[in-house]
Structure 1
């Protein structure tokens, strides 16, 4: 978040879709930020973690749309109007990383579904990511037909029809399909116009209890610093409701693990906000919207290497309930995506003593079904979660060596 933008980001937009369909390249084209910074990501050429980038959208006097640093040629002297400041969440597309994609979906207000024109549609994770958006309740979607520079006009039109057929009957049936070349910055103005038209900023209530879903945490100290020069831990994520101010006392839950003999319990971590940043700006107050970072006096060992990822940060006394068991109303899909993509496989009912993976906001846990009947299920969780009644839980089942998305539940 080093580059300064005109304001705090006000919305999170996800980039989802099959591996190597151009999500990270499009993120860079729109923001100037290459989000694959992890050494293993660079070596393997795929996204492994969630990537984050901020940008601003502008509109010229002639009605041309562009993103920060991408002003159309010949328009340098014309007045411009800031439309919005946006945070992008770049989700990994590999099938083994679905849990990471689902946690990213939890902080998205809308999404771009990427489909490469040089491959048939749908690919397995194109289908599975669309299911994840549906389960997460994300209905504001723009479909991006990428890599049009690699195919003939005839193939581009054929790809368009494949996409239309795939989307029929889904939440994205009426979503616009925008052909682009992210690599060559082709048609990005049309894409930005579609985003501005379709993915509106949700209404926020600043008076609601203040809650942030933690997606990253850092130790910003360089090796070799003197103890007197050390800075506290930094926490990054998305404020989903309410607002925070510098000086607010905060709690982070479920918190830290404490062993008591053979028993283990979790205790919320208490701290205070010493500074905040969003869009590269130092801010005194931050409301729900895009991505942000908060500095604290916490020991950096708590925050290093994303140790707090998946936790919930709230103002003191406003932390959601910490649960090691959950009762959920279950909604299973009719079919799930298979590894080879050779057609649908029916989803069977939940079974007692079955192990499931559950995602709640940015947290991931594994639970064992203690009871399942009449559309309800009780789960005993290996790792506790911090969640309110009414929150959605995505449910995945182990199929072979992979976790497969099979439905969602609502916490009672």
Structure 2
């Protein structure tokens, strides 16, 4: 039975047929992020052929789960992902539906992780109990979460079944030292085995207690950040049966309905004018994990069917775009003004490399929403930095931006900025 078939009226009235909160997974490659999501949702988020061959997550993956609470059992025994309690066999009530954002842990895919972080309301930070703490990407992901303002965190101590109690306790103490002074300093640390499902009920209970559903204002101008775009037509489809391009992402505020006119920024490149022009189209269909719907709200991955030529949306060509109602989004701009805070050391390097001040003329990678972009520093005055982007972006004032510098032939996270 799919969770959509168990939704009570109160949930449908408030959130519709979709998840109400986005929770990310972060941590070093092979520490069990995708395995944990499979244990919680029954879905394997690494579905692309290249991901399966390499055994790592490459793109940001989404998967949904409904959490239920037994009306009889004491916490945390009564939490499960099925309407029937795994502990006593009794009936359970829906707590909420959650969407998990599985981000890449490999260092070369950090830009993808940062893109996924832009849509997270909270996060699970996975740490493998059988490895040294912290591993490079564990540290980098935690700082990335902090950089992008994600404060609701649950630390997951995975693979405890591979250790003795004494070894697991020592690892727990190492984790406590590692998160000290960060947003995760007061986060609960839950020991589990994602492979066997050990203690998953306690983890669900901790998620429900510590990662709250944000208050959403449906009356605000709608904003959707794009993570995917594709052509759903199979080769050989007859012209009369061709469907328009599909765009996938997540709403952060507002509502979209079938039939709405939408604007996509920065749009597409006009080669003659050498400028990006926004696109205006109509929503022909809306989809969530529960199926085809008439309207969508913030929470989970949403698919928007459009009247765009499907060749325009294939191969994730719209990643990093922003969608809203016409005339409501910020104007395209290549000028980025930031109030910057640099880290003491570059993140993700094996050696401790001190972060040097940003210099005029240097090339940086910036993550604005779900868009990873390159830009050249045009002006530096104390903490105020101006960057000329190589291509325009739809930039929201007050937004968090991650900054990376090329170090040892990799883009390394060096700090964060707030758009001024």
| Equivalent in 303, 317, 325 of residue 335 of structure 2 | 325
Superposed displacement of residue 231, structure 1: 0.9
1:145 to 157, 176, 188: 157
Supply the distance in 1 between the matched residues of 2:20 and 2:303 (Cα, whole angstroms).
14
1:305 aligns with 2:319: no
Q: State the 1:396 CA deviation.
A: 0.5
Quote the Cα distance in structure 2 between the aligned partners of 1:98 and 1:383.
20
Match of 1:364 among 372, 392, 403: 372
- Cα drift, residue 391 of structure 1: 1.4
Q: Match of 1:246?
A: 258
- 1:213 corresponds to which residue? 225
CA distance in 2 between partners of 1:70 and 1:377 (Å): 55
Q: Offset at 1:269?
A: 1.1
TM-score under structure 2 normalisation?
Answer: 0.94
Note the C-alpha offset of 1:4: 4.2
Render the CA deviation track for 1:300-337: whole Å, top value 9, x for unaligned.
11111111111001111112221112111111112222
- What is the CA RMSD across the aligned residues, in angstroms? 1.5
- Residues 336 and 233 of structure 1: CA distance in aligned 2, closer, same or farther (over 3 Å): same
Q: 1:354 aligns with which of 353, 362, 366?
A: 362
Q: Secondary structure at the match of 2:271?
A: strand
Partner residue in 2 for 1:388 = 396
Asked if residue 398 in structure 1 is aligned to residue 403 in structure 2, the reply is no
Equivalent residue, structure 1, for 2:416:
408
Determine the C-alpha separation between the residues in 1 that align with 2:306 and 2:179: 45
Among 29, 32, 53, the alignment partner of 1:22 is 32
Q: Find the counterpart in structure 1 of residue 292 from structure 2.
A: 282
1:333 counterpart SS class: strand
Among 42, 45, 57, which residue is 1:35 paired with? 45
Bigger Cα displacement from structure 2, 327-336 vs 365-374: 327-336
The match for 2:346 among 316, 333, 336 is 336
- Do the aligned partners of 1:30 and 1:68 also contact (CA within 8 Å) in 2? no
For 2:113 and 2:215, how far apart are their aligned partners in 1?
Answer: 25
Q: Any idea what the Cα deviations from partners look like across 1:102-146, whole Å, max 9, x if unmatched?
A: 111000000000000010110011101000000000000000000
SS at match of 2:46: coil
Question: In the alignment, does 2:120 pair up with 1:108?
Answer: yes
Superposition TM-score, scaled by structure 1 size: 0.95
Q: Which residue of 1 aligns with 2:98?
A: 86
Q: Secondary structure at the match of 1:41?
A: helix
CA distance in 1, matches of 2:231, 2:84: 33
Runs in 1 of length 4+ with deviation above 6 angstroms?
Answer: none
Unaligned runs of 5+ in 1: none
Per the TM alignment, residue 79 of structure 1 is displaced from its structure 2 partner at its CA by 2.5
Question: How far apart, in 2, do the equivalents of 1:393 and 1:243 lie?
Answer: 25
1:25-64 map, 5 Å = 25-63=35-73, 64=78
CA deviation after TM superposition for structure 1 residue 73, in Å: 5.8
Structure 2 contact 99–300 (Cα < 8 Å) conserved: yes
Whole-angstrom CA distance in 2 between matches of 1:386 and 1:24: 31
CA contact (8 A) 2:3 2:65 kept: no
Aligned with residue 191 of structure 1, among 191, 195, 203: 203
Q: 1:65 aligns with which of 52, 61, 79?
A: 79
Deviates more, 1:281-290 or 1:85-94: 281-290
Deviation at 1:193, TM superposition (A): 0.3
Partner Cα separation in structure 2 for residue 103 and residue 387 of structure 1: 14
Q: Can you list the C-alpha shifts for 1:228-273, whole angstroms capped at 9, x where unaligned?
A: 111111111110111111111001110001112xx51001111111
* 8 Å contact kept, 2:396–2:419: yes
Residue 179 of structure 1: how far off its partner (Å): 0.5
State the distance in 2 between where 1:139 and 1:159 align: 23
Q: Given that residues 31 and 68 in structure 1 are in contact (C-alpha distance below 8 angstroms), is that contact kept between their aligned partners in structure 2?
A: no
SS of alignment partner, residue 274 of structure 2:
strand
Post-superposition offset of 1:70: 8.2
Query: Alpha carbons of 1:109 and 1:41: their partners in 2 closer, same or farther (altered >3 Å)?
Result: same
What is the rounded CA distance, in whole Å, between the counterparts of 1:231 and 1:373 in structure 2? 50
